[in-house]
Amino acid sequence: MSTEAVSTATGLQNLTGVITLKLRTPSRLRNLELGLLLFAIAINAGSFVLVQFGVLGQVEPGMLTASFALAGLALAVHVALRISAPDADPLILPIATVLNGTGLAMIYRLDLAKGFEGWGAASVRQIVWTTLAILIATAVLVALRNYRVLQRFTYVAMFSAIVLLLLPLVPGLARTDDVAAKVWIDVAGFSFQPGEIAKIALGVFFAGYLVQHRDSLAVGGRKLLGMRLPRVRDLGPILLIWAAAMGVLVFQRDLGTSLLYFGLFLVMIYVATGRLSWVLLGLGLFLGGAIIASQTLVYVNSRFTVWLDAFNPQYADGDAYQLVQGIFGIAQGGMVGTGLGQGRPSIVPLAESDFIIASLGEELGLAGLFALLALYLLLVSRGFRIGFAGRDDFGRLLAVGLSFVVALQVFIVIGGVTRVIPLTGLTTPFLAAGGSSLIANWIIAAILLRLSDSVRNQPRLVVGP
Amino acid sequence: MNKELRRVSVIVLAMFLALFGSTTVISAIEADNLAAQSNNRRVVLDSYSAQRGAILVEGTPIAYSEPSDDVYRFQRIYSEGEKYSGVTGYFTLNQGSTGLEGSLNQQLSGTANSQFFDQLNAIITGQEPTGASIATTLDAEAQQAAWDAMQGYEGAVVAIEPSTGRILALVSTPGFDPNPLASHITSEVIERYTALDEARPSPLQNRAYGGGQYSPGSTFKIIMTAAALENGYAPDSQFENPATLTLPGTNTQINNPVVGQCSGGGDTVSMATALNLSCNIPYAELAQDLGVDTVADMAEAFGFNSSTQIPMTSTPSRYPRDIDEAQLMLTAFGMSSVRVNALQNAMVVAAVANDGVLMQPTLVDSVIAADLSVLDEFQASELGRPITSATASTLNDMLVDGVSNGAAGGARIDGVAVGGKTGTGENGPGEPFNLWFSGFAPAEDPQVAVSVIVGDGGGRGQQLSGNALAAPIARQVMEAVLNQ
């Protein structure tokens, strides 16, 4: 063998060394994800078995397939990630899977208690929605190879958000039955909350708009009380969003969604411009509007009374019945809960959607609630991590916006159920029964996965052997 | 951007901490309070899923559960329902629970924290969970005597063992039968409940410790005398003795019970004589001298203006502080806005009989688990020392004198020194009197302190006095305790 050949061999070895390093890092992430995912799948299967033992006293293979279906779908996403986003965050998918599965098990448990079967059972519909949601999320993940294209659709996103928000007010689409908040539409027999999808469109719009205009928005105007106010001509967007939020509040009678959109906007504008004055201005506007609304709109007013005085016998069996019974349920659960299938969560109206957290609190106890809250916190922190470490501002802003919207929604729902804030009708991300919410949150998970992939991509390990 | 992001992270963390906090408050800190709420359906249903413990009097169950064939699985039965209705209360599916059934629901249904390991054991072994039984402090004969004596009258009797605070008898009349209220058919429960709720006098009102309160009449003079003795007065302290007294700032004239001067004459009269003959005018003068704060402080030292747990929460007896001088003078003999229930008045004489030490009154002797292990055992505990031992001893003598030679002769028992005070509370012109007696026996070593209230003038308007009607009832209860 000549020296030349040796040096070529060394060169080749160097080259392959680089390649193995490159490949090993992402696959280590994916392997970690696979491990966690299998753990999540085991937890979900365990929940289903426990529900069946708790309610039926035996295992019925029929509905167990639901948990296998979810497991299969999650593994499919995992494979898609290995191919299309190998550097993506390894925690997001297992967290979404275990939350979705826990919710599914609880919804199934409530169906068993109420004797619902087939298409009338919320759990069966939830499985279909889960399938749809994960397929859509996978499509988003694969199609959105380069998330930066989203920035081009800033204004398209704005218009879609507005259209989605207005849909429930269109006659013929609006759900006609007597639901307090007019946020639903009926399409071909399916109920859908377009507002859930709108929050993603809004996140994209805010991120795109703020990245473009942050410099002019950050320029100060007059000083007042030691704080530099924004210029009057820059007030346009905040007033527009405020009007939209108030519109949701007044016309769709939905305090929670209104708070969600506005909170999302405030956080994103603050992160983009670094100006506290925007936040204070916005909070002032929103609180002002909310106070006027609580004085003039009967339903907002009653939400506040019920919140402050829930255990007053005057309300406890009336307007506050759901809230009070939900709290009784959580209290009944105590530290470790009654065990799946052993409590009485079905006493609470809407135990499978708005109050699923009370149902879980009753049967899984404080320990279970803490675990769920910790999972949400972890999910949000993974999103924020992209915000800290991302390379381009659009991606960072989008990641922060989408994770914050999850955090805020969790806070509004669970805070409402546990009387930290007035109760409003929002869904608990991934857990609650409801297709629009599932689809929206799985899309958020997909976008976060895509964004995190780019973060991991930047400091490539190209160190020699 | 990272600085802002860090701040937002802190806000997100704060939001989650709020949720960690709120869930902890609900499931850990407030859980017991929430479980005690009467509209908590889970607790009601849970209390049916286990065999509920019994309530025992001297080992005999007065309330117990037997298996039934319906979804609730156990039927509650009260063996002597009416007689003990003031103690057991009722236990219903949809109208909440009262009495021991309500206040000890967690123990009876086996969900109390002290039964945690039993619950765990029941879960692991798959055995049926069973609630704990409550052994009461009641004396069956005293309760029977009180119940018999109160037949036909509206009112209450509470008898306490002064040295321990054990409640020996607790009767509220009219009583009610809790059995129909324990029905598993909710419409029957509601029908029966509504009928009881609308009946007058209301059987659902507990006159022994609850909201059915009465003006104490002259029994309040015990507290007045205690306040006087603690503030430098002696039994022979003299008071002016007019035939009538006009209250300051009003045209209202007050009289002694026997109209005219106390003790038939004399320029002055001693406190001992005034108590013995239950004269009002000297006590009005005493109240004026002592002032509202001294009187109110003494009343509160005996338990007024606060509730106590027996373990049912009592309605506080009221002695108002925001009263003028004329009202203060009226309160001296239990008029104006003083309101008392039988439990409070029994606590007053029990403290006098126990050397001035007020013991926490209770109905619970022990809580016994299904396996007969004792979960919780009665321990005498001191609630306070409203008066000194010397004051108690002097007051004891004065009250004995009232029964043996004075206005409370109706409570005399042959061969036993009985101490006591009658009261005839007025409710306004033409309205029936409240007839009271509070006392204890035997005076040298009191075994029982008892308070009797007969409302509605015993059905005879203004014709009867506390001595004529209430004192003999108290005597029968005391005899029942002492004859054992």
Q: How many domains does chain B have?
A: 1
Which residues of chain A make contact with B16, given a CB cutoff of 8 A? Answer: 373, 376-377, 407, 410-411
Q: What is the pLDDT of residues A280-304, one digit of tens each?
A: 888 888 888 888 877 887 777 888 8
Q: Residue length, chain A?
A: 465
Whether B117 is covered by a domain: the verdict is: no
Cross-chain CB nearest to B42 (options A267, A329, A380)? A329
Instruction: Decide if A411 and B40 are in contact by the 8 Å CB cutoff.
Output: no
Which residues of chain A make contact with B22, given a CB cutoff of 8 A? Answer: 414-415, 418-420
Amino acid at B254: I
The DSSP bridge partners found for residue B134 are B55, B367
Measured over the CA atoms of residue B409, residue B411, residue B415 and residue B417, the dihedral's sign is: negative
Q: In Å, what is the CA distance from B66 to each residue of B70, B176, B390?
A: 12, 21, 53
Distance CA(A376)–CA(A363), nearest Å, equals 19
Distance CA(B408)–CA(B412), nearest Å, equals 8
Instruction: Decide if A331 and B12 are in contact by the 8 Å CB cutoff.
Output: no
Distance from CA of B33 to the nearest CA of A (A): 9
Q: What is the pLDDT of residues A138-174, one digit of tens each?
A: 999 999 888 888 898 888 988 888 888 878 777 766 6
Distance from CA of A418 to the nearest CA of B (A): 6
CA quadruple B190, B196, B202, B205: dihedral, nearest 10? -50
B238-240/B133-136 β-pairing: unpaired
Which residues of chain A make contact with B17, given a CB cutoff of 8 A? Answer: none
Q: Would you tell me how many other CB atoms lie within 10 Å of the CB of residue B62?
A: 25
Q: Which residues make Cβ contacts (< 8 Å) with residue B249, sequence separation at least 6?
A: B324, B325, B326
Q: How many Cα atoms occupy the beta-carbon half-sphere of A106 within 13 Å?
A: 32
Which residues of chain B make contact with A311, given a CB cutoff of 8 A? Answer: 37
Distance from CA of A220 to the nearest CA of B (A): 17
One-character DSSP codes across B286-353? HHHHH-HHHHHHHHHHTTTTS--BSSSBPPPPB--SS--HHHHHHHTTT-TT-BB-HHHHHHHHHHHH
Whether B418 is covered by a domain: the verdict is: yes
Distance CA(B407)–CA(B403), nearest Å, equals 7
Amino acid at B246: T
Digitized pLDDT (tens) for each residue of chain B, 484 residues in all: 788 899 999 999 999 999 999 999 998 888 888 887 777 878 777 767 778 899 999 999 999 998 887 767 788 999 999 999 999 999 988 788 899 999 998 888 887 777 776 666 666 666 666 788 999 999 999 999 999 999 999 999 999 999 999 999 999 999 999 999 999 888 889 899 999 999 989 999 999 999 878 999 999 999 999 999 999 999 999 999 999 999 999 999 999 988 889 988 889 999 999 999 999 999 999 999 999 999 999 999 999 999 999 999 999 999 999 999 999 999 999 998 999 999 999 999 999 999 999 999 999 999 998 778 888 888 999 999 999 999 999 999 999 999 999 889 999 999 999 999 999 988 888 889 999 999 999 999 999 999 999 999 888 888 888 899 999 999 999 999 998 7
**Residue of chain A nearest B22, judged by CA positions:** A418
Containing structural domain, residue B239: 217-365+380-482
Whether B10 is covered by a domain: the verdict is: no
**Residue of chain A nearest B5, judged by CA positions:** A271
Instruction: Decide if B8 and A311 are in contact by the 8 Å CB cutoff.
Output: no
Q: Please report the beta strands in A18-88, taking only residues with DSSP state E, as ranges in sequence order.
A: none
Q: What is the pLDDT of residues B372-416, one digit of tens each?
A: 888 888 899 999 999 999 999 999 999 999 999 988 999 999 999
Name which of A332, A344, A370, A409 to mutate to probe chain B: the one with the most chain B Cβ atoms within 10 A of its Cβ: A332
Whether B390 is covered by a domain: the verdict is: yes
Cα radius of gyration (chain A) = 24
Q: In Å, what is the CA distance from A282 to each residue of A217, A264, B241?
A: 14, 11, 78
Instruction: State whether residue B173 is helix, strand or coil.
Output: strand
Which residues of chain B make contact with A347, given a CB cutoff of 8 A? Answer: 41-42
Task: Provide the whole-model pTM.
Answer: 0.66
Cross-chain CB nearest to B39 (options A317, A369, A400)? A317
Q: Which residues make Cβ contacts (< 8 Å) with residue A356, sequence separation at least 6?
A: A103, A106, A107, A428, A431, A432, A433
Task: Report how far Cα A11 is from the mean position of its chain's Cα atoms.
Answer: 49
Name every residue in B having a CB less than 8 A away from some CB of A: 1-5, 7-9, 11-13, 15-16, 18-20, 22-28, 30-31, 34-35, 37, 39-43, 45-46
Nearest to A437 by CA among A160, A258, A200: A200
Residues of B annotated as part of the active site: 218
CA quadruple B183, B189, B191, B193: dihedral, nearest 10? 120
DSSP secondary structure letter of residue A347: G
Instruction: Decide if B27 and A415 are in contact by the 8 Å CB cutoff.
Output: no
Whether B221 is covered by a domain: the verdict is: yes
Residue B335, domain CATH? 3.40.710.10
Whether B167 is covered by a domain: the verdict is: no
Which residues of chain A make contact with B47, given a CB cutoff of 8 A? Answer: none
Instruction: Decide if B31 and A270 are in contact by the 8 Å CB cutoff.
Output: no
Distance from CA of A389 to the nearest CA of B (A): 9
Instruction: Decide if B23 and A324 are in contact by the 8 Å CB cutoff.
Output: no
- Tokens standing for residue B189: 């429960």
Whether B476 is covered by a domain: the verdict is: yes
Distance CA(A425)–CA(A438), nearest Å, equals 15
Distance CA(B182)–CA(B72), nearest Å, equals 11
Instruction: Decide if A418 and B22 are in contact by the 8 Å CB cutoff.
Output: yes
Whether B256 is covered by a domain: the verdict is: yes
Degrees (nearest 5) of the Cα angle A287, A289, A292? 105
- Tokens standing for residue B155: 């009112």
| Maximum pairwise Cα distance, chain A | 97
Which residues of chain A make contact with B24, given a CB cutoff of 8 A? Answer: 366
Instruction: Determine contact, residues B228/B344, Cβ cutoff 8 Å.
Output: no
Cross-chain CB nearest to B27 (options A274, A313, A331)? A331
Q: In Å, what is the CA distance from B243 to each residue of A453, B240, B247, B265?
A: 102, 10, 13, 9
Distance from CA of B35 to the nearest CA of A (A): 7
Distance from CA of A99 to the nearest CA of B (A): 17
Nearest to B444 by CA among B387, B396, B389, B406: B396
Size of interface A-B (CB pairs under 8 A): 118
Which residues of chain A make contact with B27, given a CB cutoff of 8 A? Answer: 330-331, 333-335, 361, 365-366, 369
Distance CA(A95)–CA(A40), nearest Å, equals 8
Instruction: Decide if B1 and A376 are in contact by the 8 Å CB cutoff.
Output: no
- The ipTM, to two decimals, is 0.89
Instruction: Determine contact, residues B477/B414, Cβ cutoff 8 Å.
Output: no
